[in-house]
């Protein structure tokens, strides 16, 4: 009997009860057909006589709000008619952070899944569903031993397992006490931004770069300074000579281009950071998967001056729906990061963390990594073969040395034309145009292949090539129409001709 | 073969390989007993001749780093000797938010579980472990259909289930589109603080109040104005006459006192907010459990001007280790809250959300709520009986009308004396002194009884009464010692005599 009733302050008790029940019916909290509580129970709960409750029910029946069924009870007989709510006349007052966040809010994704979907995701056939379900079951069985106020640094077991795994596979050098488990890498980025950046501080990042990170830095009020990239990654010679507070980088597999930061540039970046007393936030978002050549160790493993914050997640290695990531930070920064995590959301689900610790300790993660690598190698080979067989007109395809996506530049095409042509073909595409701080001519795609069935890759590329061809033709056929209705896009696609 | 090797830039390839392997051994990434990769595989991976790799292995064997076992392979023979890392000489530069967060960081909890633990937690015997594990298993089976970039507003099913549940039990009035799922109520509080408060904005909250919320508001730079409470909750007549940007309140069960905000004060608070264009953040953190009298509907259900943000979580209803909470916000605020959630951490685990949606839809949550209510009623009855049988000397015990804790004021006792006396008796206590913005004399306890076995309650209260008695006696016996070594505490305990 957990129906909340508001009894008005004044009037006889019976009348007040009638009014409260009427309110519950009219507001829809007691919907059509709902059974009213037994009069005896309601009377006991409200400390009324049973007669008062029975009289109130009879009143509601006489008013038509309820009906009685003999031997069964009293039931709501009308459809609710919720009172229209008057919206706040006042303007919505947001903080400066809130104003920045909403100004830069991305358009939410379409819910309908396209026929061939080049959007982010992990390989379903290699996913260790049974092992994860078993590990979760074991964690649920141990839930009573889990603290109500979870350790904001995260599960000790998981932190130890992460350090061992990342030390072996990524050359990370850290003690488990330097790890703070976060709820996905976005939280790691946002936490770093809040902890280290004041409004108007300068932040350097790659151009093109990861738009979700840029949004967090801009929301923090930082001044974002783009640094160009080339085939060897971030052009360290272009780092601002007068320093910055923080440099956000993706050295192992630059987002979105896939460039790998050259060893001499890694040292140059670390020297720049040391010279200017800057932090480096290294986002190692997908370096589990490499195709040829040994994996380059992470920047953090080379850092000798405690300036590097290493961010990663289990979103590519396992699944993004888990929302588990980590920051590995210099020892001197650990207390601040833990205090920040506690203020942000207390801790990341200990249930999920303990299940993941099980998967690491049992070797399941390592076995999964091998299976998933095979799955992605097969997809990558198919993708490269398809792109060779059906080249995309006018495209520049960046090398696919690792990770789960390939970056494609289409300098002569307007995004809208390609979007329409792709939609007609049931193609789901991720456009990389928001990877640039400064507006660029043409368009670019981030083709994610992790989730796509191998059999869909060649048809997908063929459809994409046709869409690109159509978008190109349309441009040539009808430049005047575009110029009239979308002057800015027409300007953009005019470049590169 | 996922060992990351750094080959130095200069020198013959064989010597560079030896150096890289030596580094991996000395850094502990190749630990004692680890097997080196087969020479053929490593040669292929590094694009070296097999002879070069074999020669490098022989060099390491001759240097004593490795041993060969015939027909088996080459193994690491030394214990790692990690290079000591030079810590950053530079000071740790934090943002102003970071400086505020670390200045106010709470002491981390002790890991050792006391013999009788009056700390927060939920009843283990009523926890629906099997149903949750089944629901998680079903969610894992559906994980392939879950988007890589989860909907920042949360699972549609869970939002609909929450609105139905809260409408029925709490009188909440909202459409599912007004719900944003967050990672526990702390995230809901922090998100609201960031979105609505600029540095130096005024924030009102109850005094005493919820310290974790206060920390988030203070970290945001807000000026916290305490508003006193009495037996009828927040003293609305004491709300600042010139308004505030936000009022944070716990009207259904004031934290920590347990006072229920009187109906006329609810209206007064809403009127004050409307008059001053202020937001109300209503934290309905534990109102699932009430002992006698109908549950009072939440403030949000009375709000007619779209100023009320309703925050809650599944931490009491199910378990805090799940880290799932929710904000229900006025329609006009929905886009900003979604954009903020996306910037904070993208979304809350869709795996957990879908499992919880299952539990709501199958009626499991409702059944659990009934079982848990019975469990807590039994604990509460035992606790009240124990406090009646063994009164705590000099204590003021607040009424226990709902929730999972009771607030006890001990005006004549110093926290340190009671802490020592409780530790000697194996009692785990939560001190409520940080619930006050302004330092108070004496001490107070928040006795959580949700997790404690019924059989432990009477012995726990007996031990607590003895500890309180001892702390009182000690004070009377040795006031001079306290006055000498802890002048501030001595002053504090002097008050109230």
pLDDT tier for residue B140 given thresholds of 50, 70 and 90 = very high
Q: What is the 3-state secondary structure (H, E, C) of A105-166?
A: CCCCCCCCCCCEECCCCCCCCCCCHHHHHHHHHHHHHCHHHCCCCCCCCCCHHHHHHHHHHH
- The rounded percent of chain B whose pLDDT value lies above 70 is 89
3-state helix, strand, coil in chain A (%, to 5): 45, 15, 40
What pLDDT, on the 0 to 100 scale, is given for residue A475? 60
CB contact under 8 A, A127 and B144: yes
The residue assigned the tokens 């099980």 is A358
pLDDT, mean of residues A326-339: 94
Nearest CA in chain A to B193: A95
**φ, ψ at A81 (rounded to 5°):** -135, 80
State yes or no: pLDDT of A284 exceeds 60: yes
Strand segments, DSSP code E, in A307-392 are 308-313, 325-328
Angle B141-B147-B152 from CA coordinates, rounded to 5°:
120
Which range, of A60-64, B81-85, B419-423, averages the lowest pLDDT? Answer: B81-85
Closest by Cβ to A101, choosing from B90, B219, B339: B339
Angstrom distance (rounded) from CA B410 to CA B418: 10
Question: Is B140 an interface residue toward A (CB < 8 Å)?
Answer: yes
Q: What per-residue confidence (pLDDT) applies to B108?
A: 52
Report the relative pairing of strands B223-230 and B202-207 from DSSP bridges. parallel
Which of A429, A405, A406, A407 minimizes the C-alpha distance to A418? A429
Residue B452 · residue B377 · CB < 8 Å: no
Tokens representing residue A159 in the block? 């932190």
Is the ipTM higher than 0.85? The answer is no
Backbone angle region of B394, left / alpha / beta, with phi > 0 → left and psi within -120 to 50 → alpha: left
pLDDT exceeds 50 at position B369? yes
Strands A223-230 and A202-207: parallel
**pLDDT tens sequence across A296-323:** 789 999 898 899 999 999 999 999 999 9
Mapping DSSP to helix (H, G, I), strand (E, B) and coil, where does residue A70 land?
coil
- For B132, the closest of A3, A140, A263 (CB atoms) is A140
The pLDDT value recorded for residue A246 is: 97
Instruction: Give me the pLDDT at residue A83, please.
Output: 46
What integer is the mean pLDDT of B399-405?
93
Please confirm whether the linkage preceding B23 is cis (ω < 30° from 0).
no
Please tell me the predicted confidence (pLDDT) of residue A241. 97
Query: How confident is the model at residue B80, as a pLDDT?
Result: 65
B30-41: average pLDDT: 87
Which are the contacts of A23, defined by CB distance < 8 A and separation ≥ 6?
Answer: A6
The answer, yes or no, to whether residue A110 has pLDDT greater than 70, is: no
Q: Is the pLDDT of residue B83 over 70?
A: no
For residue A188, name the pLDDT band (cuts at 50, 70, 90). very high
B152, two tokens: 């920042």
Instruction: Tell me the pLDDT band of A89, cut-offs 50, 70 and 90.
Output: very low
Which two tokens mark A346? 């207390």
> Sorting pLDDT into bands at 50, 70 and 90, what band is A409?
very high
**Residues in contact with B454: Cβ distance below 8 Å, sequence separation at least 6, in sequence order:** B378, B379, B382
pLDDT higher than threshold 50 for residue A121: yes
SS3 for A279?
Answer: strand
Q: Per mean pLDDT, which range of A63-72, A202-211, B351-360 is the poorest?
A: A63-72
What's the distance, Cα to Cα, between the start and end of chain A in Å? Answer: 72
Residue A487 has pLDDT above 50, yes or no: no
Distance from CA of B341 to the nearest CA of A (A): 10
**Cα distance between residue B148 and residue B145, in whole Å:** 9
| Residue A15 CA from chain centroid, whole number | 52
Residue B445 is predicted with a pLDDT of 97
What confidence score (pLDDT) does residue A25 get? 81
Give the pLDDT confidence score for residue A111 in this predicted structure. Answer: 66
Mark which residues 358-417 of A lie under 8 Å from B by CB.
Answer: 369
- Kindly list the residues from chain B whose CB atom is less than 8 angstroms away from the CB atom of residue A141: 129, 133
**pLDDT of B491 strictly over 70:** no
Interchain pair A4, B297: CB under 8 A: yes
Q: Which of A418-427, B140-149, B443-452 has the lowest mean pLDDT?
A: B140-149
Q: Which of the residue ranges A146-155, B58-67, B138-147, B486-495 would you say has the lowest mean pLDDT?
A: B486-495
List b or e across A177-215, with b for residues whose CB sees 16 or more CB atoms inside 10 angstroms.
ebbbbbbbbbbbbbbbbbbbbbeebbbbbbbbbbbbbbb
Inform me whether the C-beta atom of residue A69 falls under 8 Å from chain B C-beta atoms: no
User: A354-405, pLDDT tens digit by residue?
Assistant: 999 999 999 999 999 999 999 999 999 999 999 999 999 999 999 998 999 9
Write the pLDDT tens digit of every residue in B158-196.
999 999 999 988 989 999 999 999 999 999 999 999 999
Share of chain B above pLDDT 90, in %: 66
DSSP 8-state secondary structure symbol assigned to residue B30: S
pLDDT tens for residues A333-366?
Answer: 998 999 999 999 999 999 999 999 999 999 999 9
Residues 220..279 of B with a Cβ closer than 8 Å to A: which? 220, 245, 263-264, 277, 279
Contact B23, B6 (CB under 8 A): yes
The H or E element that residue B157 is part of is helix B156-170
Give A114's contacts in chain B (Cβ within 8 Å). Answer: none
Give the mean model confidence (pLDDT) for residues B101-117: 73
CA distance B497 to B494: 6
Concatenating the DSSP letter of every residue in B73-125 gives EEEE-S---PPPPPPPSS-----HHHHHHHHTPPPPPPSSPPSEE-SS---ST
Tokens 């039931």 found at: A75
User: Using one digit for the tens of pLDDT, what is the confidence trace for A206-261?
Assistant: 999 999 999 999 999 999 999 999 999 999 999 999 999 999 999 999 999 999 99
Q: Using pLDDT thresholds of 50, 70 and 90, give the confidence band for residue B106.
A: low
State the average pLDDT for chain B: 88
For the record, the structure tokens of B124 come out as 């283990």
């Amino acid at each position: 009997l957990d129906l909340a009733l508001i009894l008005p302050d004044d009037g006889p008790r019976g009348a007040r009860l009638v009014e409260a029940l009427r309110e519950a019916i009219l507001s829809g909290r007691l919907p059509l057909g709902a059974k009213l509580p037994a009069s005896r129970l309601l009377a006991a709960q409200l400390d009324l006589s049973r007669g008062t409750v029975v009289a109130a029910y009879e009143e509601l029946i006489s008013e038509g709000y309820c009906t009685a069924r003999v031997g069964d009870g009293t039931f709501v007989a009308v459809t609710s008619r919720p009172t229209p709510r008057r919206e706040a006349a006042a303007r919505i007052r947001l903080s400066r952070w809130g104003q920045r966040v909403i100004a830069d809010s991305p358009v939410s994704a379409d819910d309908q899944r396209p026929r061939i979907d080049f959007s982010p995701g992990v390989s379903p056939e290699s996913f260790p569903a049974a092992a994860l379900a078993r590990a979760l079951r074991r964690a649920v069985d141990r839930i009573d031993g889990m603290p109500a106020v979870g350790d904001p640094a995260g599960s000790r077991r998981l932190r130890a397992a992460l350090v061992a795994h990342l030390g072996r596979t990524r050359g990370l050098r850290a003690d488990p006490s330097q790890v703070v488990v976060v709820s996905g890498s976005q939280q790691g980025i946002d936490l770093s931004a809040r902890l280290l950046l004041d409004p108007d501080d300068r932040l350097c990042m790659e151009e093109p770069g990861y738009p979700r990170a840029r949004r967090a830095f801009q929301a923090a009020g930082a001044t974002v300074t783009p640094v160009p990239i080339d085939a060897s990654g971030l052009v360290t010679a272009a780092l601002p000579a007068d320093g910055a507070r923080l440099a956000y980088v993706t050295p192992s597999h630059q987002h979105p281009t896939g460039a790998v930061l050259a060893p001499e540039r890694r040292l140059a970046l670390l020297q720049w950071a040391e010279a200017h007393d800057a932090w480096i936030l290294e986002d190692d978002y997908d370096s589990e998967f490499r195709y040829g050549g040994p994996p380059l160790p992470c920047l953090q493993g080379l850092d000798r001056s405690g300036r590097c914050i290493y961010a990663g997640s289990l979103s590519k290695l396992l699944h993004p729906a888990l929302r588990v990531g980590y920051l590995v930070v210099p020892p001197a920064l650990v207390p601040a990061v833990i205090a920040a995590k506690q203020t942000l959301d207390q801790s990341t689900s200990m249930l999920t963390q303990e299940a993941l610790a099980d998967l690491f300790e049992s070797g399941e993660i390592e076995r999964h990594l091998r299976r998933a690598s095979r799955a992605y190698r097969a997809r990558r080979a198919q993708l490269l073969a398809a792109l060779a067989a059906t080249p995309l007109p006018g495209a520049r395809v960046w090398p696919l040395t690792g990770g789960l996506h390939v970056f494609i530049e289409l300098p002569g095409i307007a995004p809208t034309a390609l979007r329409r042509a792709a939609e007609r073909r049931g193609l789901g595409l991720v456009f990389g145009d928001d990877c640039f701080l400064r507006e660029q001519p043409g368009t670019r795609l981030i083709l994610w292949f992790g989730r796509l069935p191998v059999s869909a890759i060649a048809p997908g590329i063929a459809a994409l090539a046709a869409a690109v061809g159509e978008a190109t033709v349309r441009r040539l056929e009808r430049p005047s129409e575009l110029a009239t209705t979308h002057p800015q896009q027409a300007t953009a696609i005019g470049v590169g001709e």
